[in-house]
């Protein structure tokens, strides 16, 4: 360039075109293109046409298919419950200390890696088994107080449930196992106490407080006394002599005495017909 001459002006660079965002429309185009390629391949190989999935709606992302082999939530819950039930059988048959993970796997089927993927230790699996059993006990107790029957009928049914629960072979084995392992698993033993007898007492107390003619300030004492009458000696007997089970007639007699005793002391006007004035 010669001295004194100015540089000619340069044209500004062309403006950049903004990149179009790939949204639902672009994804629909990809889905249709893939289907078209699949149809051409089937036609080239002489394969029959298969039923195609409906096109996705506008402004909607294509549904992601479930990965093959992955269980649904319901299937996973069922598998988990089955595992805990089988593990409970082995633990309650052999005791915690004499149970090996290989014993549970042999009865359940599968690999040790699958079990350890969910429970890192035998103690963790034992804790899950106890939690599962406690949930079942709570459901049984809660269902007995949800009906619309009278006070005598509800207390009688509740007393029969207490006897049936405490004398059930699995519950007796569960109590004996936790008594033996209470020093190593104190929190599980305490939770069974709170979710078993103490939970039953609390549920009955709440029910009695809602009954007309029942003194709500004495409902806790009444519930505690009733559960003690039903669970005191039966629990000791089930722990020390599990083969000695009372007959249905003996259970009915003990429950009737407990119901009559509590109502005579706390709510005489609600006593069953023919009950003695005091117990």
**What are the tens digits of pLDDT across the range 60-115?**
555 555 555 666 777 777 888 888 889 988 988 888 888 888 898 888 887 777 78
- DSSP reduced 3-state for 9: coil
Most confident stretch, 51-60, 109-118, 156-165:
156-165
- DSSP reduced 3-state for 154: helix
Give the pLDDT score at 232.
77
CB 255 within 8 A of CB 159: yes
Statement: residue 52 has pLDDT above 50: no
Give the pLDDT score at 60.
52
Give the pLDDT score at 261.
92
Q: How far is CA 96 from CA 52, 88, 92, 185, 207, in A?
A: 55, 10, 8, 11, 37
CB 171 within 8 A of CB 137: yes
Residue of 172, 165, 182 whose CA lies nearest to 238: 172
**What are the tens digits of pLDDT across the range 180-224?**
888 888 887 787 777 777 888 888 999 899 888 888 889 999 999
Query: Any idea which of 4-8, 152-156, 262-266 has the lowest mean pLDDT?
Result: 4-8
Most confident stretch, 54-58, 116-120, 255-259:
255-259
Q: Token digits for 135? A: 């949930």
CB 260 within 8 A of CB 275: yes
CB 151 within 8 A of CB 270: yes
Question: Within 13 Å, how many C-alpha atoms sit on residue 172's CB side?
Answer: 19
Cβ-based burial of 155 (10 A; exposed 0-12, middle 13-18, buried ≥19): buried
Q: Token digits for 28? A: 């629909």
Q: Which CATH superfamily is domain 133-270 in?
A: Tetracycline Repressor, domain 2 (1.10.357.10)
**What are the tens digits of pLDDT across the range 219-258?**
999 999 998 888 777 777 777 777 778 888 988 999 999 9
- Helix ranges, 109-218 (H): 112-118, 122-144, 151-166, 169-180, 186-195, 197-209
Q: What's the whole-number average pLDDT of the chain?
A: 77
Give the pLDDT score at 224.
92
């Amino acid at each position: 360039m010669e001295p004194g001459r100015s540089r000619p002006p340069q044209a500004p660079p062309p403006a950049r075109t903004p990149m179009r965002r790939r949204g639902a429309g672009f994804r629909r185009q990809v889905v249709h293109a893939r289907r078209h390629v699949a149809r051409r391949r089937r036609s080239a190989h002489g394969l029959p046409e298969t039923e195609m999935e409906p096109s996705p709606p506008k402004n909607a992302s294509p549904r992601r298919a479930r990965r093959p082999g992955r269980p649904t939530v319901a299937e996973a819950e069922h598998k988990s419950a089955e595992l805990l039930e089988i593990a409970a059988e082995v633990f309650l048959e052999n005791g915690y200390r004499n149970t090996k993970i290989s014993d549970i796997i042999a009865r359940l089927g599968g690999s040790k890696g699958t079990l350890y993927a969910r429970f890192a230790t035998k103690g963790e699996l034992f804790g899950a088994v106890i939690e599962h059993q406690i949930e079942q006990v709570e459901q049984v107790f809660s269902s007995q107080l949800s009906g619309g029957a009278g006070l005598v009928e509800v207390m009688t049914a509740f007393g029969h449930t207490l006897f049936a629960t405490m004398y059930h072979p699995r519950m007796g084995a569960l109590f004996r196992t936790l008594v033996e392992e209470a020093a190593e698993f104190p929190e599980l033993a305490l939770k069974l106490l709170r979710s078993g007898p103490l939970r039953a007492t609390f549920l009955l107390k709440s029910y009695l407080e809602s009954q007309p003619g029942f003194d709500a300030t004495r409902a806790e004492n009444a519930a505690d006394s009733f559960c003690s009458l039903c669970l005191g000696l039966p629990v000791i007997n089930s722990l020390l002599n599990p083969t000695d089970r009372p007959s249905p007639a003996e259970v009915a007699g003990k429950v009737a005495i407990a119901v009559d005793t509590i109502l005579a002391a706390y709510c005489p006007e609600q006593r069953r017909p023919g009950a003695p004035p005091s117990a």
